[in-house]
Amino acid sequence: MKARSPEPGWVLTDRIIAAAIKVHRTVGPGLLESAYLDCLCWELHSVGLAFEQEVPLSPIYEGMRLENRYRADIVVERAVIVEVKAVDFVRPVHKAQTLTYLRLSGCAVGLLMNFNAVLLKDGLHRFIA
């Protein structure tokens, strides 16, 4: 990954959310998660944000690194974890997953976005480390 962004995570989240809203308004709910992931990455690229997709996260258990057990959907500017969902309801397990990825990544902010919501704002959850 590149050096961490000089922009604080909360500033980046406004730009990421704006890109996600554009995707949601353009294609609407009802697609597969992978489609939203591809569209969001395209938008992030369009607005000049550096990001990585499918970023491996490795927990450490009693000094042993468990390699490549988890993958964050998107890490933006090495500061914000973005988890993309296309589900009927955001469940506690989805929130727990995002919090775990946030902790493992060392990022300051996490976003959980459910693109299957009628309004994206209803499927958006922000977490601060």
pLDDT the model gives residue 123: 96
Q: Are residues 50 and 82 in contact, defined by beta-carbon separation less than 8 angstroms?
A: no
Q: Residue 4 falls within a domain, yes or no?
A: no
Residues above pLDDT 70, as percent of the chain: 92
pLDDT the model gives residue 65: 87
Q: Provide the greatest CA pair distance for the chain.
A: 46
CATH number of the structural domain spanning residue 80: 3.90.1570
The pTM of the full predicted model, rounded to 2 decimals, is 0.89
Averaged pLDDT, 73-90: 97
The string of pLDDT tens digits covering residues 60-71 is 889 888 887 799
Give the residue numbers spanning the domain of 96. 9-128
Q: Residue 95 falls within a domain, yes or no?
A: yes
Q: Residue 82 falls within a domain, yes or no?
A: yes
End-to-end CA distance of the chain: 19
Q: Residue 1 falls within a domain, yes or no?
A: no
Q: Which of 41, 105, 122 is nearest to 97 (CA)?
A: 105
Q: Residue 3 falls within a domain, yes or no?
A: no
What is the count of structural domains for the chain?
Answer: 1
Q: Residue 2 falls within a domain, yes or no?
A: no
